[in-house]
Amino acid sequence: MARLVFLGTPPAAAVSLEALVHAGHDVALVVSRPDTRRGRGTTRSPSPVKRAAVDHGIEVTDRLDDVSAMGAELGVVVAYGRLVPGRVLDALPMVNVHFSLLPRWRGAAPVERAVLADDSETGVCIMALEESLDTGPVLASRRVSIGAREHVSALTARLATIGAELLVDTLAAGVDVLPAGVAQQGEPTYAEKLRAEELHLDWSRSASELERVVRLDRAWTTFRHERLRVLDAVVRSGPPPREEDGGAPAAPGSLRESAVRTGDGVLELLEVQPAGKRPMSASAWCRGVRVQVGETLGDDEQRR
């Protein structure tokens, strides 16, 4: 088994760390982000990868330059969140577990961008790490279908498990006999980090576009000038809500029971979370607020 250094931060990366430990690899050091402050207090919280490392008694640092002193054979990078500079790669070769079919969706948010683009499939690539962004040769890959209404959280969890299995399989024969890898083929696309405004539900857009935004798991709108998170929704067939029975078509954002008129079609709200409250079914929320004729979602366009 190999002596490794592991670089990662979120829960999806912790899955690979756990898999390497359970496969018998000697993880000499974990590099993760510095602890972050929680809320307005002074308590600081470690990353999920750091928590996993501490549970296994593995040394943890937030300094990249520490990797060169560990006598490791290979570095493994999974959703670390920073580019690894050339001086570090010169000291220790590294492989990266990336949640897309490269060169499609290089960058920070490959799963989110695949969902927003309505891709029918994505995958996992194990690639040799280079100083440039996600450009290295691919050592192994696996294709994964995206469910018709699959949310980013569920898809990321699936990819994390598949990626961890693929990583362990790739390293099983030994670090000294890793495959040379295949150069990436095709036109690259880039998965920029999501901007806050991309999570705001603009009801003038089509219902299918808005459903994909909801599948990012952080979508929001407003109602009566309070923020309302939309946790789940589905495109609904049938006529859109009207101002009143037999009346003119309602404006985008108009709500009838849990059905919302959009710029093209109807989005049925399934689960929501009002500000300061727990998640609840959209039907229960609608009964509680007693939506009046003419009221709309998105009544406050201020980005808060």
Is the pTM higher than 0.85? The answer reads yes
Q: Torsion angle of alpha carbons 144, 149, 153, 159, nearest 10°?
A: 0
Q: Which two tokens stand for residue 122?
A: 């994505």
Q: What is the pLDDT of residues 183-230, one digit of tens each?
A: 999 999 999 999 999 999 999 999 999 999 999 999 999 999 999 999
DSSP string, 254-288: BEETTEEE-SBSEEEEEEEEETTS--EEHHHHHHH
The burial of 246, by beta-carbon neighbours within 10 Å (0-12 exposed, 13-18 middle, 19 or more buried), is given as exposed
Q: Angle at which helices 48-55 and 11-22 pack, to 10 degrees?
A: 20
Domains 3-191 and 197-289 share a fold: no
Of the listed ranges 18-27, 184-193, 217-226, 250-259, the one predicted with least confidence: 250-259
Give yes or no for residue 251 having a pLDDT over 60.
Answer: yes
Question: What is the mean pLDDT of the segment spanning 152-168?
Answer: 98
What's the whole-number mean pLDDT along residues 36-63?
A: 89
Q: Is the domain covering 197-289 a CATH 3.10.25.10 domain?
A: yes
pLDDT at 239 over 70: no
Q: Where along the chain do its domains lie?
A: 3-191, 197-289
Q: Quick one: CATH architecture of 3-191?
A: 3-Layer(aba) Sandwich (3.40)
Distances (CA, A) of 83 to 25, 133, 167, 252: 24, 7, 20, 42
Nearest to 126 by CA among 113, 116, 136: 136
Cis peptide before 188 (omega within 30 of 0): no
Confidence of residue 43 (pLDDT cuts 50, 70, 90): confident
Sign of CA dihedral 244, 249, 255, 259: positive
If you ran DSSP here, which 8-state letter would residue 206 be given?
A: B
Q: What is the pLDDT of residues 266-275, one digit of tens each?
A: 999 999 999 9
State how far the Cα of 207 lies from the Cα of 260, in Å rounded to an integer. 9
For range 261-267, the mean pLDDT: 94
Does residue 149 surpass a pLDDT of 70?
Answer: yes
Query: Is the per-residue pLDDT at 303 higher than 50?
Result: no
How far from chain centre, in Å, is Cα 194? 10
Backbone angles phi, psi at 20, to 5 degrees: -65, -45
* Residues 112-127 pLDDT 10s: 999 999 999 999 999 9
**What is the per-residue pLDDT for 218?**
96
Q: What is the mean pLDDT of residues 60-68?
A: 95
Separation of alpha carbons 107 and 83, rounded Å: 10
| pLDDT above 70 (res 243) | no
Quick one: average pLDDT of 172-178? 88
What DSSP element (H or E) covers 21?
Answer: helix 11-22
Phi, psi of 296 (to 5 degrees): -130, 155
Q: What is the distance between the alpha carbons of residues 243 and 268, in angstroms, rounded to a whole number?
A: 17
- What three-state secondary structure class fits 74? strand
Per-residue pLDDT reduced to its tens digit, 5-14: 999 999 999 9
Residues 290-295 have a mean pLDDT of 84
Residue 55 has pLDDT above 50, yes or no: yes
Compute the average pLDDT of residues 55-60: 97
Residue 176: which pLDDT band, with cuts at 50, 70 and 90?
confident
Q: How confident is the model at residue 244 (pLDDT cuts 50, 70, 90)?
A: low
